[in-house]
Amino acid sequence: MTAIQTTSSHQSGHHFLPKETEDGHTISPNQWLLPLTAKVNAQDHLQIGGCDVVELVGQFGSPLYILDETTLRTTCRHYRHGFLQHYSGQSQVLYASKAWNMLAVCAIIASEDLGIDVVSGGELYTALEAGIKGSLIYFHGNNKSVDELELAISHDCTIVVDNWNELHNLVHLSHHTPSPISIMLRLTPGIECHTHEYIRTGHLDSKFGFDPDQLEAVFNGVVKETGLSCIGLHAHIGSQIFELQPHQDLGGVIVQWYSKALAMGLPVTELNIGGGLGIRYTHQDDPPSIENWVKGVAQAITEACHQYSVPLPKLLCEPGRSIIGTAGVTAYTIGSQKVIPQLRTYITVDGGMSDNPRPITYQSVYGALLANHMSAPMTQTVAVAGKHCESGDILIAQALLPVTQSGDILVIPATGAYNYSMSSNYNRVTRPAAVLVGNGDANLILQRETYQDLIRGDRLPERLRIT
């Protein structure tokens, strides 16, 4: 058995340097993007969480989402321990469940003492069904319906208020609610960061949050409402961010708002600085470690609190991608191949943009490896295509791989975040199953969709029935 070297922080070190295994095989750079428990077994197969990936596909089918419990728990602990070590006030880490919201994931998150951020009635319902207490649920969204708000209020969740319309709805609802509704206020910090424009949220021209110009008006409005208990302020600057500085800048901005809120008589005690730490999708990516991120933001908040002479707040953050991204991989089976001489070779897998819409949406770049021939030399650069009727359905434009055959198992690492959660049934392709692996056990956490599932909601008016 050959252990694949990954560092304890999982996000630092020289993963991209070619490495020799104990038995002399060169490990492909892409293997450094794998979950912490990844190993190559005696059959030269990839093993995750003590389970042979080729056997998992045999047992649970293909494509298959595989979630490594150890990696998921480890990232949660890096966040929690980071705050305990680097922040002297109280803290609470929330998991941004939009990254992957599912009963089993919510249950693991809760067992690691993380709270959760939800952005829809559906995510909220799932978190509640998984047993997460309302006091640990923070409800986001820029257009929450009254029904969604009522569900959250009835479970004593905290509502992160995004805009005036929502504030008015909440004031109205508070007249029929026995105790004050716990709220936070989301403001747009006006911080630019380097990430894809679709996943930037902190710049002024963003659909999320109150404009900072309206700060005083919002604070004045809320302070008068006895039915609302405003416990804190929130801001989020974007996602897949590799620089620490914008998050540290946010620390200064949010503390400035906090001192203003206190001065205006709003008894705010919590500051939520959002999520956004990036992960390594390819060996060129080099994000800060979770610990360094926490240290950086904790220092920025602490310094700003000294500067403004305000007490240290309870500090919240809500990472999604950096909690679950590298814990997940997707296994596919290779089918057809098309060689266009002197131009390109396409190898096609049995999934694509329906289980991973990130390449077609954000031009995201991934790596791949062959789970059934881990030490085969990487001799060709190919395009890994999906099976959907769309030319843009290319999962990887340039994948370095060994020679492949139909039936080989191709694994794409770092697919734990925003893959299942953004999956679709485009072309009426059924969604994959998902398994949780750990200590040699594999538990089904998501059943594979069937054709019957696809037509479950369809209704055929009698007059259209073909007789």
Q: Work out which of 125, 346, 362, 426 binds ligand LLP, going by CB under 6 A.
A: 362
* Beta carbon of residue 234, minimum distance to ligand LLP (angstroms, whole number): 7
Query: Does position 280 bind ligand LLP by CB under 6 A?
Result: no
Residue 134 or 357: the one with the smaller Cβ distance to ligand LLP is 357
Residue 278 or 438: the one with the smaller Cβ distance to ligand LLP is 278
The answer to whether 378 touches 29, Cβ cutoff 8 Å, is: no
In this chain, which stretch among 120-128, 130-138, 272-280, 381-389 interacts with ligand LLP, using CB under 6 A? 272-280
The answer to whether 401 touches 409, Cβ cutoff 8 Å, is: no
Q: Work out which of 15, 78, 280, 321 binds ligand LLP, going by CB under 6 A.
A: 321
Q: 3-state DSSP call for residue 408?
A: coil
- Residue spans of alpha helices (H) in 115-179: 121-129, 146-154, 164-174
Chain-centroid distance of CA 344 in Å reads 33
Chain-centroid distance of CA 42 in Å reads 33
Query: Does position 276 bind ligand LLP by CB under 6 A?
Result: yes
Q: Work out which of 313, 320, 367, 386 binds ligand LLP, going by CB under 6 A.
A: 320
Q: Work out which of 75, 91, 182, 239 binds ligand LLP, going by CB under 6 A.
A: 239
Q: Work out which of 232, 274, 367, 432 binds ligand LLP, going by CB under 6 A.
A: 274
What does DSSP assign to residue 178?
S
Query: Does position 318 bind ligand LLP by CB under 6 A?
Result: yes
User: Could you tell me whether strands 270-272 and 314-317 are parallel, antiparallel, or unpaired per DSSP bridges?
Assistant: parallel
Q: How far is CA 186 from CA 96, 161, 368, in A?
A: 15, 6, 39
Of 39, 63, 50, 19, the closest CA to residue 415 belongs to 63
How many residues of this chain interact with ligand LLP, rule: CB under 6 A? 23
Dihedral of alpha carbons 427, 428, 431, 432, sign: negative
Residue 4 or 33: the one with the smaller Cβ distance to ligand LLP is 33
Query: How many CB atoms lie under 10 A from the CB of residue 92?
Result: 18
In this chain, which stretch among 3-11, 49-57, 268-276, 403-411 interacts with ligand LLP, using CB under 6 A? 268-276
Rounded to whole angstroms, the Cα distance separating 236 from 275 reads 6
Q: 3-state DSSP call for residue 51?
A: strand
Residues 415-444 as x/- pattern, contact with ligand LLP by CB under 6 A? ---x---x----------------------
- Which entry of 193, 230, 305, 389 is annotated as an active-site residue? 389
Of 404, 238, 405, 387, the closest CA to residue 318 belongs to 238
Q: Is 305 a catalytic residue?
A: no
Strand (E) or helix (H) holding 301 = helix 290-308
Site for ligand LLP in 111-150 (CB under 6 A): 117, 140
In this chain, which stretch among 69-77, 91-99, 164-172, 300-308 interacts with ligand LLP, using CB under 6 A? 91-99
Residue 236 or 280: the one with the smaller Cβ distance to ligand LLP is 236
* Beta carbon of residue 64, minimum distance to ligand LLP (angstroms, whole number): 20
Chain-centroid distance of CA 336 in Å reads 31
Of 357, 360, 371, the closest CA to residue 417 belongs to 357
Residue 246 or 275: the one with the smaller Cβ distance to ligand LLP is 275
Site for ligand LLP in 190-209 (CB under 6 A): 199, 201
**CA-based diameter of the chain, in Å?**
78
Rounded to whole angstroms, the Cα distance separating 413 from 434 reads 14
* Beta carbon of residue 307, minimum distance to ligand LLP (angstroms, whole number): 26
Residue 184 or 334: the one with the smaller Cβ distance to ligand LLP is 184
* Beta carbon of residue 357, minimum distance to ligand LLP (angstroms, whole number): 8
Q: Work out which of 30, 240, 289, 430 binds ligand LLP, going by CB under 6 A.
A: 240
* Beta carbon of residue 174, minimum distance to ligand LLP (angstroms, whole number): 23
Q: How far is CA 347 from CA 150, 153, 333, 339, 394, in A?
A: 49, 50, 10, 9, 10
What are the residue numbers of the active site? 389
Residues that bind ligand LLP (CB under 6 A): 96, 98-99, 117, 140, 199, 201, 236, 239-240, 274-277, 318-322, 358, 362, 418, 422
